[in-house]
C-alpha cells in the first residue's frame, strides 16, 4: 500500500489559491501512483472557504480519514517557507499514532536550500542602477527568524547591494528597511512577495492603501515602488525544491519498511 501524500499549507482565500494547483500538479507528476490529499492549517482560511461552500480539511481531519481507511503510512509535506511556528505546530499535532507519518521539511532548511532559492529569485533582481529589489517575507518571532538574514546575505553575495530582504511581521521593522534603501541612494524599489502565494499580506501589507503599507512607506520617502503580483510558489525551481523535500520524506518511509 503506497503512502498517501498530504501537502499541508496555511492556505489563502484570494485568487492566489491557484498557486497550489501548480504545486499539486508537480507532486502528482512526480508520484503518479500515490494519492494526494491536501490539508490546510489556517482556521481563518478554512472558515472563510466553508462560507463559500468549499471544504478545506485540517491535517487532523485528513489523518483521521486515513486511519479509518486503514492506511499505514502518510507523507506530509510542509508548504511553509521556514521552520517557524506553523511548522513546529504541525509536528506537534500530527503525532496521532496511526497512520505512521513521515514529514517533508519546509522550503528553506539548509544552506543548500537557501542557495537554491537565491538562484530561483535571480531573474527578479532589477538591473536598473536606481532601483533596489526588495524581497518581503512573512516574518516570525520564532528562532527561525534568522533564516531571513541568511537569505539576505546570500542574495547580496549573489546579486550585489541592490538586493534587500524584509518581513511583514517581526525584525527588522519595515521603516528600518525603507530608511536603508533610501540611504543607499535608490529612488525606485521593486517589491517581490517572498511568500508561497500573494494573498492577504500582499493585498494589504505590501500594496494596501493604509499609511503603514510598504507602498506608502516608500512613497512617503519619495521612492517609487513597483510590485510582482505573484508569490514564489509558481516558480518551477521553488516547486522542485518542495518536491525534493517530499522525495526525502518518502525515502524515510521506504527505509523504515525495509528494516
Same domain, residue pair 142 and 222:
yes
Same domain, residue pair 134 and 102:
no
Choosing from 29, 60, 95, 138, the catalytic residue is 138
- Rounded to whole angstroms, what are the CA distances from 194 to 31, 71, 151? 27, 36, 11
- Binding-site residues sit at 138, 169, 201
CA–CA separation, 146 and 140 (whole Å): 9
How many Cβ atoms are within 10 Å of 91's Cβ, its own excluded? Answer: 13
**CATH number reported for the structural domain that contains residue 56 in this entry:** 3.40.50.1400
Same domain, residue pair 117 and 215:
yes
Q: Among all chains, which residue has been given the C-alpha cell 535608490?
A: 186
Same domain, residue pair 128 and 190:
yes
In the structure grid, which three cell numbers stand for residue 74, read together? 502518510
Same domain, residue pair 28 and 56:
yes
Tens of each residue's pLDDT in the chain, 259 residues: 799 999 998 877 667 678 899 999 999 999 999 999 999 887 777 777 777 887 888 888 999 999 999 999 999 999 999 999 989 988 888 876 789 999 999 999 999 999 999 999 999 999 999 999 999 999 999 999 999 999 999 999 999 999 999 999 999 999 999 999 999 999 999 999 999 998 878 888 999 999 999 999 999 999 999 999 999 999 999 999 999 999 999 998 876 665 4
Same domain, residue pair 150 and 180:
yes
Same domain, residue pair 125 and 218:
yes
Q: Give catalytic status of residue 138 as yes or no.
A: yes
Q: How many domains does the chain have?
A: 2
How many Cβ atoms are within 10 Å of 118's Cβ, its own excluded? Answer: 23
Same domain, residue pair 240 and 218:
no
- Binding-site residues for Co(2+) sit at 138, 169, 201
Range of the domain at 211: 111-228
How many Cβ atoms are within 10 Å of 259's Cβ, its own excluded? Answer: 4
Give the angle 208-170-22 at the CA atoms, nearest 5°. Answer: 60
Amino acid at each position: 500500500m503506497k503512502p498517501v501524500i498530504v501537502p499541508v499549507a496555511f492556505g489563502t482565500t484570494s485568487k492566489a489559491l491557484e498557486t497550489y494547483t501548480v504545486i499539486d500538479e508537480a507532486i502528482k507528476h512526480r508520484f503518479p501512483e500515490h494519492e494526494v490529499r491536501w490539508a490546510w492549517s489556517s482556521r481563518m482560511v478554512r472558515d472563510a472557504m466553508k462560507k463559500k461552500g468549499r471544504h478545506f480539511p485540517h491535517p487532523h481531519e485528513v489523518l483521521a480519514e486515513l486511519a479509518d481507511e486503514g492506511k499505514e503510512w502518510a507523507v506530509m509535506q510542509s508548504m511553509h517557507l521556514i521552520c517557524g511556528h506553523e511548522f513546529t505546530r504541525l509536528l506537534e499535532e500530527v503525532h496521532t499514532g496511526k497512520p505512521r507519518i513521515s514529514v517533508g521539511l519546509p522550503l528553506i532548511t539548509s544552506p543548500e536550500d537557501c542557495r537554491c532559492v537565491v538562484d530561483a529569485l535571480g531573474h527578479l533582481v532589477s538591473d536598473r542602477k536606481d532601483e533596489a529589489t526588495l524581497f518581503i517575507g512573512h516574518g516570525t518571532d520564532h528562532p527561525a527568524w534568522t533564516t531571513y538574514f541568511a537569505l539576505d546575505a546570500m542574495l547580496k553575495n549573489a546579486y550585489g547591494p541592490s538586493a534587500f530582504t524584509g518581513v511583514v511581521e517581526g525584525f527588522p521593522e519595515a521603516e528600518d528597511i525603507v530608511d536603508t534603501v533610501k540611504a543607499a541612494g535608490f529612488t525606485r524599489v521593486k517589491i517581490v512577495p517572498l511568500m508561497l502565494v500573494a494573498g492577504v499580506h500582499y493585498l494589504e501589507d505590501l500594496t494596501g492603501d493604509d499609511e503603514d503599507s510598504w507602498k506608502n512607506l516608500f512613497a512617503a520617502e519619495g521612492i517609487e515602488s513597483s510590485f510582482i503580483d505573484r508569490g514564489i510558489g509558481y516558480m518551477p525551481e521553488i516547486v522542485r525544491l518542495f518536491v525534493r523535500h517530499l522525495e526525502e520524506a518518502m525515502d524515510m518511509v521506504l527505509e523504515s519498511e525495509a528494516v
